[in-house]
Amino acid sequence: MTVELILFYLFGSVAIGTALAMILQRNPVVSALLLVGNFFCIAGLYLLLQQQFLAVIQIVVYTGAIMVLVIFVIMLLNLGDEQRLMERINFWQSIGVALVVGFLAEMVYILMFRGRSGAHTAIHPEAGSLGTVEAIGNALFTRFLLPFEVTSLLLLVAIVGAVILAKRRVQ
Amino acid sequence: MSMDLYSYLGLSAMLFAIGVVGVLVRRNVIILFMCIELMLNSVNLTLAAFSSYLGDQTGQVLVFFVMAVAAAEAAVGLAIVISLFRNKQTVNIDEINILKW
């Protein structure tokens, strides 16, 4: 249990640190690489929750496909550094940030100190057998067959839309 | 002292708040995009934590669908960014106001 606790705090703190560094970083490429680190930490948290399949597709889909696409676009557009944060933040933006921080403090207070009922202190004993590729495939092709097929339609629409939007006009 | 469901919920609340702050303070469309991915991931973590602690598989299947939607969104969104950049030569959202009436 203690190893899991140490790993939870390690992954959690690195995830929060890379996320903060991502929004404070001015260079977009470094920002994207920090987000990749964040996704690896979340994959580690999935492993701590005994969900092997999600951990693998987190790395394959997010860091392998989506972030490569993002980095490719950043390099294609050849973006420079942004203006310094403090020079361009305005009054309404700082009000918004203050509201978000207040809401976060409220949520963390309620979750950590008020909502803790003593239940759900350990992972469900069957969780390990629910996270395998076999179990998820079984669920996807029986109970969730219709949403699964609709997802494939969505991906098709996304491919066609991306090609139409990004191609140059042909005269 | 061990981690329970609420530790995971608190962690994903923090990640979500960082994503919202990023959307509020940054002006680069691609960074905004990555902040949205961060928020989607924090919600995924919530779903996965509930799935593990309650012993219910539905949460994991939902995470799978959220990832598929995120992939579709990334493809279409980046295509929009490329065509915007081609027309306006900028990715700063303060300068992109062609939909403003």
- 3-state DSSP of A50-71: CCHHHHHHHHHHHHHHHHHHHH
C-alpha distance from residue B62 to each of A67, A163, B50 (Å)? 21, 27, 11
Q: Does B95 touch chain A (CB under 8 A)?
A: no
CB contact under 8 A, B28 and A22: no
Q: Which of the 8 DSSP states describes residue A126?
A: T
Asked if the model's pLDDT at residue B54 lies above 80, the reply is yes
End-to-end CA distance of chain A: 66
* CA of B3 vs chain A CAs: smallest distance (Å): 6
Asked if the model's pLDDT at residue B89 lies above 60, the reply is yes
Q: Determine the Cα–Cα distance for residues B36 and B23; give it in Å rounded to an integer.
A: 8
What is the token pair recorded at A34? 């920090």
Q: Determine the Cα–Cα distance for residues A19 and B15; give it in Å rounded to an integer.
A: 7
For the entire predicted model, the pTM comes to 0.90
The C-alpha angle B13, B18, B19, rounded to 5 degrees, equals 95
The chain A residue lying nearest B83, using CA atoms, is A166
CB contact under 8 A, B7 and A88: no
Query: pLDDT 10s per residue in chain A (171 long)?
Result: 688 899 999 999 999 999 999 998 888 999 999 999 999 999 999 999 999 999 999 999 998 899 999 999 998 888 777 766 666 778 888 899 999 999 999 988 888 777 777 777 788 888 888 889 999 999 999 999 999 999 999 999 999 999 998 887 765
* CA of B101 vs chain A CAs: smallest distance (Å): 21
Mean pLDDT, residues B53-71: 92
Alpha helices per DSSP H over chain A: 2-24, 28-48, 52-57, 67-77, 85-88, 91-109, 127-130, 133-141, 145-166
Residues of chain B in contact with residue A120, where contact means CB-CB under 8 angstroms, are: 4-6, 53-54
The interface predicted TM-score of the complex, written ipTM, equals 0.91
pLDDT computed for residue A52 by the predictor:
92
The chain A residue lying nearest B91, using CA atoms, is A79
pLDDT computed for residue A86 by the predictor:
65
A42-71 b/e with 16+ CB inside 10 Å = b?
bbbbbbbbbbebbbebbbebbbeebbebbb
Yes or no: say if A53 and B60 are a contact pair by the CB < 8 Å rule: yes
Yes or no: say if A126 and B50 are a contact pair by the CB < 8 Å rule: no
Residues of chain B in contact with residue A135, where contact means CB-CB under 8 angstroms, are: 57
- The overall average pLDDT reported for chain B is 89
pLDDT computed for residue B2 by the predictor:
64
How many interchain CB pairs under 8 A, A with B? 225
Asked if the model's pLDDT at residue B1 lies above 70, the reply is no
Asked if the model's pLDDT at residue B69 lies above 90, the reply is yes
What is the token pair recorded at A70? 């993002």
